[in-house]
Amino acid sequence: MELLSLEINRAENQHIYDIIKMLTDLKNNNIYIKIDSNNDDIININYGVNYLPNKKKCLEEIYTVIVNLITEYAKHLSLVYFSENYSYFDIDEVRDIERKIDEEISNDLKFSIIIRDKLKQFISLNRTINIDGFIKFRLKFIVDYSKQTVEKCIDEYLMKKEYFELINVLKYFSDYDTTENITVNIMYNNNKLQLYDENMKKINYHLSQEIAQEFENANLQYDENIMSILLAMSPKTIIFHILFDEIDIISKNTVEIIKKVFGDKIKICKGCKYCEFKKNK
């Protein structure tokens, strides 16, 4: 029994024609495939089933390979848009962003579900699908989706790049160690990180002009005051008295930056009278 037929026209969409093999990569032995070609440009792939009770399961597998094909096409559109509009990235940056685009589309479950649903709707009324026509008229959103994915991946890449550049700058400032054996304790009180000296007296400090300039250039969410104090003091030891799953996102970002900048100077309190007092408040 024939389930459905796909028509692929090379003149209409060369890229899909080039990856047509994906449409025959089926693991279900109950599905048979018949391929017809009237000329070099048009191919018809006919799917059928030998055992009728398997029809639904077989259709689902066919939907999967078609969704995979369209997903690859969306990646292709994204990469073309990227290469045509963002020529200023170097080779390594291009590779990183292209890898991110591929991962973003591959892991987009919502995108896959939408494609599958539209396929099912179409197949309920038609048994023959012209792939290029289906994409053009039923999946018009793919063009905008591909562009938006590129923009999102570039934004995330630049944010990540800015983050690591900031870490390197902060490490540079933190290398100016003082001769004093300074210890700083960090606690989370009143919904924010607060710093205390070795006697658990609260620390207040002003932001230096040079460090302030680095913070001003950074478009990241973290506590600038906390970082400025730590960099200005350059402590030998930083002790966290924090339940990390109970702090807000800005504090979490700040903690991660502190860990990366100060490295082996970091210690985690395993329990002290101050932590116990806070728990019992």
Domain range list for the chain: 2-169, 183-279
Alpha-carbon distance of 242 to 266, in angstroms, equals: 13
pLDDT over 70 at 94, yes or no: yes
Q: 279 falls in which pLDDT band (50, 70, 90)?
A: low
pLDDT for the residue 65:
93
How many residues belong to the chain?
281
pLDDT for the residue 184:
93
Q: Quick one: average pLDDT of 69-95?
A: 95
Q: What's the whole-number average pLDDT of the chain?
A: 85
User: 183-279 in CATH: which number?
Assistant: 3.30.420
Distances (CA, A) of 250 to 162, 191, 254: 17, 10, 6
For the question of whether the overall pTM of this predicted structure is more than 0.85, the answer is: no
Closest CA to 70 of 28, 78, 99, 30: 78
pLDDT tens by residue, 145-189? 999 999 999 999 998 888 888 888 787 777 665 556 789 999 998
pLDDT tens by residue, 109-124? 999 999 999 999 999 8
